[in-house]
C-alpha cells in the first residue's frame, strides 16, 4: 500500500458540516450566495458513477466509473470533477460552495495524511482552485429533499448505469478491494483443487 504525505498543501478551504436540523430549517440560507454545486457518488449492481449538479451556474455532469470503484472513490471523484469544471471555467475572486453528502470524503480531503490517489488528486485540484477563490466544502444530508443533492444523486446513478469507455479499473483499486479480490481468488482456487481431488479419489478423470 502506498502512503502519500501532504506536508503543506496550502489549501484555503473552509469545511462546514451543518446539522440535519439546520438544513431542514432553511436550506437556501446555507447556499445563498456565490457559485453553488452539489456532488454525489453511487454504486449499484450495474456499476459505479459520479454526478455533479451546478445550481449557479446551471450544469449537469455524469461520469461512469466502471464496476470496481468504491462509493468513497466515487464521492471524492465527483468533488474532483466539480473542482476541475470550476478550474476550466477560469473563475477568480469567487465564492465557490461544493456540497456533498459524504462526510468521509470531506474528512479525507482535510486530512494531512493521504492514502488514496483519487484523494491526492482532488486535494491538489482544490489547492489550485483555492489560490484564486474562496472555496467552501459543505456537508448536506443525503436523501433529505435538498433539491441540488437529489439531482446530483440522479446524475450519479445515471453514471453508474452508463457504459465505461476505456479499460477497467477507471480509478485505482483501493487496498481493501485488492485484498478482498485476492482472498476470493484464493478461496475459488482452493475449492477447485478440492473438487478435482474428490473426483480423482472417486475414480473420475480430472478436468
Position with higher pLDDT, 50 vs 181: 50
Regarding whether 128 and 189 lie in a shared domain, the answer is no
pTM: 0.80
Inform me whether the pLDDT recorded for 158 exceeds 70.
yes
Q: What is the DSSP letter of 164?
A: P
Number of domains making up the chain: 2
Residue 188's pLDDT band (boundaries 50, 70, 90)?
low
Structure confidence by residue, pLDDT tens digits, 135-157: 999 999 998 889 999 999 999 99
Check: CB of residue 81 under 8 Å from CB of residue 54.
no
Check: CB of residue 122 under 8 Å from CB of residue 9.
no
Determine the pLDDT at residue 195. 60
Position with higher pLDDT, 28 vs 151: 151
Residue 185 structural domain: 174-207
Regarding whether 123 and 187 lie in a shared domain, the answer is no
Regarding whether 115 and 191 lie in a shared domain, the answer is no
SS (H, E, C) 186-197: HHHHHHHHHHHH
Q: Distances from the Cα of 99 to the Cαs of 58, 110, 137, 165, in angstroms? A: 15, 15, 6, 27
Cis status of the peptide bond prior to 88, with omega within 30 of 0 = no
Q: Report the CATH number that the domain containing residue 56 is assigned in CATH.
A: 3.30.420.10
Amino acid at each position: 500500500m502506498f502512503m502519500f504525505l501532504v506536508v503543506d498543501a496550502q489549501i484555503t478551504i473552509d469545511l462546514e458540516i451543518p446539522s440535519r436540523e439546520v438544513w431542514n430549517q432553511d436550506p437556501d440560507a446555507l447556499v445563498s450566495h456565490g457559485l453553488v454545486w452539489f456532488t454525489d457518488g453511487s454504486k449499484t449492481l450495474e456499476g459505479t458513477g459520479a454526478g455533479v449538479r451546478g445550481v449557479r451556474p446551471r450544469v449537469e455532469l455524469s461520469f461512469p466509473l466502471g464496476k470496481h470503484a468504491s462509493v468513497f472513490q466515487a464521492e471524492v471523484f465527483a468533488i474532483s470533477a466539480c473542482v476541475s469544471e470550476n478550474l476550466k471555467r477560469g473563475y477568480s475572486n469567487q465564492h465557490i460552495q461544493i456540497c456533498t453528502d459524504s462526510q468521509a470524503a470531506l474528512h479525507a480531503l482535510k486530512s494531512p495524511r493521504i492514502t488514496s490517489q483519487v484523494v491526492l488528486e482532488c486535494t491538489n485540484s482544490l489547492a489550485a482552485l483555492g489560490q484564486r477563490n474562496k472555496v467552501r466544502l459543505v456537508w448536506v444530508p443525503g436523501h433529505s429533499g435538498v433539491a441540488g443533492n437529489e439531482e446530483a444523486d440522479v446524475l450519479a446513478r445515471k453514471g453508474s448505469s452508463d457504459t465505461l469507455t476505456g479499460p477497467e479499473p477507471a480509478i485505482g483499486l483501493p487496498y481493501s478491494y485488492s485484498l478482498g479480490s485476492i482472498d476470493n481468488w484464493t478461496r475459488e482456487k482452493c475449492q477447485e483443487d478440492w473438487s478435482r481431488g474428490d473426483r480423482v479419489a472417486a475414480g473420475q478423470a480430472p478436468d
